[in-house]
Amino acid sequence: MSVSWRAPGRVNLIGEHTDYNEGFALPFAIEQGCTATVSTRTDAQLVVRSVQQDEPITVAPADLAPRAGGWAGYALGVAWALREDGRDVPGLTIELDSDVPVGSGLSSSAALVCSVATAVNDLLELGLDADALLALTRRTENDFVGAPTGGMDQLAALRSVADHALFCDMRSLATEAVHIALDGLRVLVIDTRAEHRHASGEYRRRREGCEAAARALGIRALRDLGPDDLDSALARLDEDELRRYVRHVVTKDERVLRTVELLRAGDTAAIGPLLTASQASMRDDFQITIPELDVAADTLVEAGALGARMTGGGFGGCVIGLVPTELVEAAGAAVEAAYARAGFRPPASFVAHPAAGARRIGA
Ligand code: GLA
C-alpha cells in the first residue's frame, strides 16, 4: 500500500521576513511542487529516494537524529518529529520527485517536507489536522534540518487555494484566502540563478537582530509595533542596524495589510507601487538584496511592470513582477538583456499561476 501527495512551492507576493516577527505575509502556492510517494516496509529502515538524486539514503531508526541524512533530512525529519511526539513510525520507503528549482527561494524545502508529512499522515492514518501538520513540518525544518525559517512557507504549501493568495497572520497562524484578480495581468517570476551567498548566516543574523530589537523595546515581537509607534521605537534603539530592521518590518506589515485590502477590492493593478516600495525597503533597510535582484526588479519596472520585488529570504533567488499580459515577453527579454550587459549568468523566468496547497494524487 502506498500513497502519493503533492505539495507546492510558493512565491511570496509581499511580506518578507515578517513571519518570525509574528507579522503578516501574503504568499501564494505555485504549480511547481514535490510529490512524495510513501509506502511501509517489512523492515524498520527509513529509505528515501529522489528522482533528482543519484543515491538513495537509508537510515536505521537508531540513527535518526537531527542533521542526519543530508538532502534526505527534510523527509527523515518528519519521521523523527513524529517519533518525538510519541508516535510509532514503521519502516518507510519515501520516493520524491520535485520540479521546484532548489536554491531559488521558491520553498523547495517546504514543498518536500509538506508532501512527506501529508503522505505519511494519510498512509499511517494519524489523523493530524491542519494545525498539527503545520507544527510537524515547522519542527522538521527548524529542529531536525536546523533551518531557522519562520513558518510562512509551510503554511503556503499546506493551505493555499487556487487563484488566491494566502493572507497569513503569523501570530495566530490564522489564514484567509484572498482572491487575486489577474485579468490582463501576470505575475512574472525571474529566477536570478545567482548563488545564495551566505544566505543562511545572513538570514539568521536578521532574525536574531529583530529578536534583539524586540527585547530592547520590551515587546514580545516586532509585530507589536504599529506605524504610529515607529518613530519612538527607532529613537530608543542605539544600533543603526537594528533601526533599519525595525523600519523594514513595521512598514512591511502595513504594506501587506494595504495589499490585502486592494486585492479584496479586486484592484490588483493598484498593488504595484506597494511591491516596488517593498523592494526598496528590502534593498535599503533590510539589506537582503544582491545586484542580480536589484537589476531584475528595476528592469521589470522600466519594461512596464506595475511593480516588482524580490521574493523569499533574499541574497539570491527570485524577483516577481506584476506585468500587463501583453508586456510579459518583452519584460523577460529586457531582464535577459540587462543581465547580459551586467555580465550576470542568464536568468530563467516563468509566469506563476496561484495554485492549490498540498493534495493527494491518484487513488
Ligand atoms: C524564507 C523562510 C521564511 C521567511 C522568508 C522571508 O523563505 O523560509 O520563513 O522568513 O524567507 O520572508
What is the 133 CA–ligand 1 centroid distance (Å)?
18
> Look-up: residue for cell 510537524?
136
Cβ-contact 9, 25 below 8 angstroms: no
Neighbouring-strand partners of residue 38: 3, 94
Q: Is the minimum distance from the CB of 276 to ligand 1 under 6 angstroms?
A: no
Q: Largest Cα–Cα distance of the chain, in whole Å?
A: 63
CATH architecture of structural domain 185-352: 2-Layer Sandwich (3.30)
Of 40, 56, 355, 305, the residue nearest 190 (C-alpha): 305
Report the SS3 class of residue 290. Answer: coil
CA distance 319 to 291: 12
Q: Separation of 96 CA from ligand 1 center, angstroms?
A: 23
Write out residues in the chain with pLDDT < 50, as ranges: none
* Among 63, 97, 99, 153, the one annotated catalytic: 153
Contact 361, 6 (CB under 8 A): yes
- Any ligand 1 atom below 6 A from CB of 313: yes
Q: What is the 3-state secondary structure (H, E, C) of 341-361?
A: HHCCCCCEEEEECCECCCEEE
Ligand 1 centroid to Cα of residue 331, in Å, is 26
C-alpha cell at 133: 501538520
Q: Is 294 a catalytic residue?
A: no
- Per-residue pLDDT reduced to its tens digit, 62-82: 899 999 999 999 999 999 999
- Check residue 21 and report its DSSP letter: G
pLDDT at 273: 98
Closest CA to 23 of 256, 212, 323, 182: 256
Check pocket membership of 312 for ligand 1, CB cut-off 6 A. Answer: yes
DSSP E strand boundaries for 194-347: 307-311, 318-324
pTM equals 0.96
pLDDT value of position 198: 66
Decide yes or no: CATH 3.30.230.10 for domain 2-180: yes
Asked if 283 and 300 touch (Cβ cutoff 8 Å), the reply is no
Closest Cα to residue 23, out of 252, 280, 258?
252
Ligand 1: does its nearest atom lie under 6 Å from the Cβ of 104?
no
Which ranges in the chain are annotated with CATH 3.30.70.890? 185-352
- Which residue has the CA at smallest separation from atom 10 of ligand 1? 17
Residue range(s) occupied by CATH 3.30.230.10 in the chain: 2-180
CA 54 / ligand 1 centre spacing (Å): 28
240: left (phi over 0), alpha (psi -120 to 50) or beta: alpha
